[in-house]
Structure 1
Amino acid sequence: MSRSTLVADPVLIVVGGTDPVLRGYCMERAAAAYPVALIDAKPPTWQQDLVVDHEVADPRDPTSVIAAGLALAERHTIADVLTWDEYALVATTHLTVRLGLPANTVASMNASRDKAASRRHFAQHNVPSATSTRVHTLAEATAAADRTGFPVVLKPSSHAGSIGVIRIDSPEALPAGWEFAVSGAGAQGREGSGVLVEEYLDGPEISVECVTRHGVTTVVAVTRKDVGFAPYFEEVGHTVTVSDPRLPDVASVAARALLALGVTDGVQHVEMRLTATGPRIVEVNARIGGDMIGELVRLATGLDLPRIAADIACGNTPNLTPTAHTTAAITLLYPPTAGTLTARHLPAAPGPLCPWLRQVTWLRNVGDQVCLPPTAIPGAARIGFFIVTADNPGDVQARLASLTDQLTLAVEPHATA
């Protein structure tokens, strides 16, 4: 079932990634520049006015996506195919190749999706990373952890959003940690299998936002991350500053990681830890970062990552010259405990009185049941978020702290037996 509007220009196909809160801005920016056709699991709703056509298909299934894409190609000239959905990367690339359009290779997307394969490529190309072993049983995990040395990290091989990821500090904690990781691995992407036992990389966590065209990578931003709820790795905040002083130290490592995986085009989100021995890769995501990081990059630098991704896909040269020179940050809000949300209020609001408060978004309403990490669904514990800007990181942090002090979040705890 589809809706088609006659358009003269070639159409850009977007596969999946249609969460209105966290990915809506991506669809809006791409559609503002190019005619967009959508392939997703459901017909468009909020995107209805942004797309010229659509096909319903499972965005994670290559066969389904190819069939949908071929149907669209019968009605339109296709410029290229794009996704910002981690789980749709491989299916999207299969379609692009099937249509004979410029694309990353399927092998490169498989290598970026399967973290065990990524580690092998990094080792072969001398990219600093973590010691890692793929395992399928607790006995194998125990042996791998003993070889690696505690603390270790257990993680599913091809998941995203820190699902099933946990730090284990001792042999005694390994059985419970193993059950947690295996539970998370049950719904991971088809590109990888099993659980990885990895060396724990100590140090601040960042992500490097990259633009790659014809195999040449330009680092456009560094995102500094706040991680909480140990021993889990829940990301609770991000900060982007134009011309971050860390950028020269991490740019070459990120570019080498993408080269090792064979990624040649698009926008990438490369996560790493700044350890005592230097930057070391955590993982590579061959798409725009989540948690509104693309919006933070735009606010801090003026660079519009969804538009840049669309430009590259459509064969146009993107402008990578910053037009803004600020700092932007997001704080992701969590309940104080699990239970029923009874109050949520922030007296400050975006507008003339607080022009630096760029967005306040609530994800849960009073009366909703709320929980704490870890959860089976990324972001399920979040109540909302706010985004602020300032001239420098210090002022951004002061504004975030001021908003946090004004925030009211009240929860009636669940009754216990």
Structure 2
Amino acid sequence: MPQPVLLLGAGRAAHGGYPLARIAAVRPVVLVGASAPGWARPFLSGLLAADPAQEAETAETVARYAARHPVAGVLTWSRAHLAVAARVTGRLGLPGLPYETAAACADPPALRALLVRHRVLPAGPEDTEGPLVSAETVVLDDEVRITALTRTTPLHHSVHAHDGLLHNRFLRRTVERTVRALGLTHTVAHVGVRLTRRGPRVTGVAPHLPGDLIPWLVERATGVDLVGAALAFACGTVPDVTPTRQRAAAIRFAEPTGAGRRGYWAVEGDDAHQCERALEGVAGAAA
């Protein structure tokens, strides 16, 4: 049986359900958390009881576990758990982010200061207009590869394999300089950018798998498996991120209910316009 990976925090079902199911089909997954949510239990091979918010205690608990059970790698898709994940991987000698990088990415003011120090322009209060995109990026040694661009609003995401912005040299340069500033290597990263009249401005960096089913959109549109890439990096191997599809995919979320749950509609098609028409159709039928 393959060695397990440790997952620090399961997150919400809409965020973690898709990647967790994909990872569990390849390797056993042991959740590090206070408890396992019901939706995640079918995909887990075990629970290591610890509170990831307690960094030192969690690192010690994981170290004791790893001394008895070989671990292939450590994953998280929560900004709040980046620092403890880096502390754990550093202690176990496993692939992962440098602690300083993880801590900066988990703290927006620290991230902003780091970007400014490296002459990367973050979005400011005056940068409130212009479309929001996120560059779904895979960093292979010194190569910064933007596998897809997600066009995003609070209730809508779309990915098109032939998005013209993929050829925008200012956007690509901004993403590359952001990756260099943070010292990211061997990771999947979600780099948020607002396209202002003054040029691209970085809105945030998540050096882990993005949520809101964005990995599903990327795979349906381009064939690139971001989940598999993140797992490969965590286990110290190099993923194949060669595009195999030239499609489009989109998702629209319903307004949150009183219980905080969100329904959604997801579609794929030959291009972005086809996806938008399909979303209008399914959303209208459900209204």
Q: How much does 1:99 deviate? A: 0.9
Is 1:58 paired with 2:27?
A: no
Is 1:221 paired with 2:142?
A: no
Matched residue SS, 1:22: helix
Q: How much does 1:90 deviate? A: 0.9
In structure 1, give the amino acid aligned to 2:141. H
Distance 2:144 2:58 in 1: 28
Distance 2:247 2:42 in 1: 32
Distance of aligned partners of 1:103 and 1:22 in 2 relative to their CA distance in 1, 3 Å threshold: closer
2:277 alignment partner in structure 1? 398
Is contact 2:95-2:233 (8 Å) kept? Answer: no
Q: How much does 1:49 deviate? A: 4.4
CA distances 1:26-56 after superposition (whole Å, capped 9, x unpaired): 1111122223222122046444443333201
Distance 1:22 1:129 in 2: 26
2:173 alignment partner in structure 1? 252
Determine which of 240, 246, 252 is the counterpart of 1:331: 252
Is contact 2:123-2:194 (8 Å) kept? Answer: no
In structure 2, give the amino acid aligned to 1:206. V
Distance of aligned partners of 1:201 and 1:102 in 2 relative to their CA distance in 1, 3 Å threshold: same
> Higher relative contact order at CA 8 Å, sep ≥6: structure 1 or structure 2?
2
Percent of residue pairs identical? 32
1:237 alignment partner in structure 2? 156
Matched residue SS, 2:57: helix
Distance 2:97 2:247 in 1: 33
In structure 2, give the amino acid aligned to 1:211. V
CA distances 1:115-135 after superposition (whole Å, capped 9, x unpaired): 22222222222212234xxxx
Distance 2:20 2:142 in 1: 25
2:81 alignment partner in structure 1? 88
Is 1:293 paired with 2:223?
A: no
Distance 1:406 1:91 in 2: 45
1:209 alignment partner in structure 2? 136
Matched residue SS, 1:120: helix
Tell me, which stretches of 5 or more residues in structure 2 are unaligned? none
CA distances 1:105-146 after superposition (whole Å, capped 9, x unpaired): 110011112222222222222212234xxxxxxxxxxxxxxx
Q: How much does 1:251 deviate? A: 2.6
Q: How much does 1:87 deviate? A: 1.2
Is 1:115 paired with 2:117?
A: no
Distance of aligned partners of 1:64 and 1:46 in 2 relative to their CA distance in 1, 3 Å threshold: farther
Distance 2:58 2:142 in 1: 26
Tell me, which stretches of 5 or more residues in structure 1 are unaligned? 1-6, 132-151, 153-198, 227-234, 336-363, 371-379, 409-417
Distance 1:243 1:315 in 2: 31
Alignment RMSD, CA only?
A: 2.0
Distance 1:84 1:39 in 2: 13
Is contact 2:10-2:36 (8 Å) kept? Answer: no
Q: How much does 1:404 deviate? A: 2.7
Distance of aligned partners of 1:383 and 1:55 in 2 relative to their CA distance in 1, 3 Å threshold: closer
Distance 1:31 1:404 in 2: 31
Distance 2:286 2:268 in 1: 18
Q: How much does 1:25 deviate? A: 1.2
Give the total of aligned pairs: 285
1:21 alignment partner in structure 2? 14
In structure 2, give the amino acid aligned to 1:60. A
Distance 1:46 1:72 in 2: 24
In structure 2, give the amino acid aligned to 1:406. A
1:72 alignment partner in structure 2? 65
Taking structure 1 as the reference length, the TM-score comes to 0.64
Determine which of 79, 89, 93 is the counterpart of 1:100: 93
Aligned runs of 1:152-171 on 2, under 5 Å?
152=125
Distance 1:383 1:46 in 2: 15
Aligned runs of 1:170-185 on 2, under 5 Å?
none
Matched residue SS, 1:209: strand
Matched residue SS, 2:61: helix
CA distances 1:343-395 after superposition (whole Å, capped 9, x unpaired): xxxxxxxxxxxxxxxxxxxxx5xxxx46xxxxxxxxx3x54111011100111
2:266 alignment partner in structure 1? 387
Distance 2:262 2:7 in 1: 28
Matched residue SS, 2:164: coil
Distance of aligned partners of 1:383 and 1:35 in 2 relative to their CA distance in 1, 3 Å threshold: closer
Q: How much does 1:72 deviate? A: 2.3
In structure 1, give the amino acid aligned to 2:269. A
Q: How much does 1:253 deviate? A: 1.3
1:407 alignment partner in structure 2? 286
Distance 1:76 1:44 in 2: 23
1:262 alignment partner in structure 2? 183
Distance of aligned partners of 1:402 and 1:109 in 2 relative to their CA distance in 1, 3 Å threshold: same
